[in-house]
Amino acid sequence: MLNDPALQPLDDIRILDVSSYLAGPFCSTQLAEFGAEVWKIELPKTGDALRRFGTITENGDSLPWLSECRNKKSITLDMRTPEGGRLMKRLVKEVDVLVENFQPGTLEKWGLGWDTLQEINPRLVMVRISGYGQTGPYRDRPGFGRIANAFGGLAFLAGYPDRPPVTPGSATIPDYMAGMYGAMGAMLALKARERTGRGQMVDIGLYEPIFRILDELAPAYAYKGYVRQRMGPATVNVVPHSHYPTKDGRWIAIACTNDKIYERLAAAMAKSGMPAPEDWLLLKNRERDRPQVDEHVTAWTSRHDRAEVLRICEEAQVPCGPIYSIDEIFEDPQYAARGNILKMQDERVGELPIPNLVPRLSDTPGSVKWLGPRLGEHNDEVFKGRLGLSDDDLRRLSTEGVI
């Protein structure tokens, strides 16, 4: 079986990333992990705002920058200047994909909108991620992940029914998901280009991936007028399917998604001296008695340490898992066996563990070659090597603040 890390699926694709913070950069990072050459444009002197977002390292760059802008080549360019705009157009001729996440109309204001760039390079694929997308009455509103969680319908579901909505895990979930959909959109557009010879625009509103993953929420409302409310850790339609405390002060997740799985859990609890009512073997009765079912499972898990609950559930083939903090993730043998934590060596910070790439390809796996680059580290390579600028050109452009 072929397994050649040097052979990567996208090693013939070149990307120009003019985005900032997280959604756009994460889009191009995923493509870079599988071989695409990514030129990351940053403002001269200041760089991408992501460099200063999160935990700042001794070298002045943040951990999110080092981790989420890996495998990219940094070049500096002020696209707002006339000469910067001209250089931008020359760069566009050299690439397959452009990724941006400015507010709609920003690139158009600089003379770098989709119509202009497509005319320069008809094969260009342009991924545009913004708060609300390129169309609609809200297109001009600014947006961040927290706003997308709220507007997309996820924040309303997070928390307990008698308390305010909370952040669903992380305010950056929409950024990561929009980046994932952006990467998928780019690959779909590149595939279509093989047939048509033309590129196209990929348009994503930050809230749209959130709305897309809300399972039956939309059809359930349209079909029955049902507005799902916050349920804490519980799950609609099935029970027990929640988080439960253990004797040693930890938590465990148990998911009984059908009657057969619950029957196995009920048998395991009965062996431990806690039989449940027979009529709970049917989901409709468990739904009827949801609070009592969860109380019964809570009473059972609270009798045992987490490791013991895990052992019992595993033997009974009941889906369960520990609710991990990050330190426990670093100690877990499954994470180690799968190589989910990649330890990178970098002269700026030494060894830095980062999340490894996803997905895992058997024959042409991707790789992380380097962490987020230094500001302007690849100016010579791109401006001289690809555009043919001279050393004098680079010095002048740097003096003028263009690069």
For residue 285, CA distances in Å to 264, 292, 363 come to: 17, 11, 49
Interatomic CA distance for residues 339 and 356, integer angstroms: 7
Residue 140 designated active-site: no
374: Cβ contacts below 8 Å, ≥ 6 apart: 61, 74
**Among 229, 231, 239, 230, CA closest to 290:** 239
pLDDT score at 7: 84
**Among 89, 99, 102, CA closest to 49:** 102
- Give the Cα-Cα-Cα angle 139, 140, 145 (nearest 5 degrees): 75
**Among 331, 319, 191, 178, CA closest to 262:** 319
For residue 390, CA distances in Å to 103, 380, 383, 385 come to: 34, 9, 8, 9
Cα separation of the two ends of the chain: 46
Q: What dihedral do alpha carbons 353, 185, 133, 42 form, nearest 10°?
A: 50
346: Cβ contacts below 8 Å, ≥ 6 apart: 66, 352, 370, 371
Beta strands in 131-273 (DSSP E): 201-205, 241-245, 251-255
The maximal CA–CA distance of the chain, rounded, in angstroms, is 84
- Model pTM score: 0.93
pLDDT score at 5: 62
Domains 14-212+338-399 and 241-245+251-322 share a fold: no
Interatomic CA distance for residues 20 and 22, integer angstroms: 6
Per-residue pLDDT of the chain (403 residues; tens, 9 = 90+): 456 667 899 999 999 999 999 999 999 999 999 999 999 999 999 999 999 999 999 989 999 999 999 999 999 999 999 999 999 999 999 999 999 999 999 999 999 999 999 999 999 999 999 999 999 999 999 999 999 999 999 999 999 999 999 999 999 999 999 999 999 999 999 999 999 999 999 999 999 999 999 999 999 999 999 999 999 999 999 999 999 999 999 999 999 999 999 999 999 999 999 999 999 999 999 999 999 999 999 999 999 999 999 999 999 999 999 999 999 999 999 999 999 999 999 999 999 999 999 999 999 999 999 999 999 999 999 999 999 999 999 999 999 999 9
* 3-state SS class at 167: coil
Interatomic CA distance for residues 370 and 69, integer angstroms: 9
CATH class of 241-245+251-322: alpha beta
DSSP structure class, residue 162: T
pLDDT score at 71: 98
pLDDT score at 1: 46
152: Cβ contacts below 8 Å, ≥ 6 apart: 174, 207, 208, 209, 210, 211, 214
pLDDT score at 6: 73
Contact 125, 200 (CB under 8 A): yes
Interatomic CA distance for residues 220 and 157, integer angstroms: 15
Write down the catalytic residue from 61, 78, 175, 294. 175
CATH class of 14-212+338-399: alpha beta
Domain spans, the chain: 14-212+338-399, 241-245+251-322
- Extract the tokens encoding 188: 């779909």
Tokens 């959604």 found at? 23
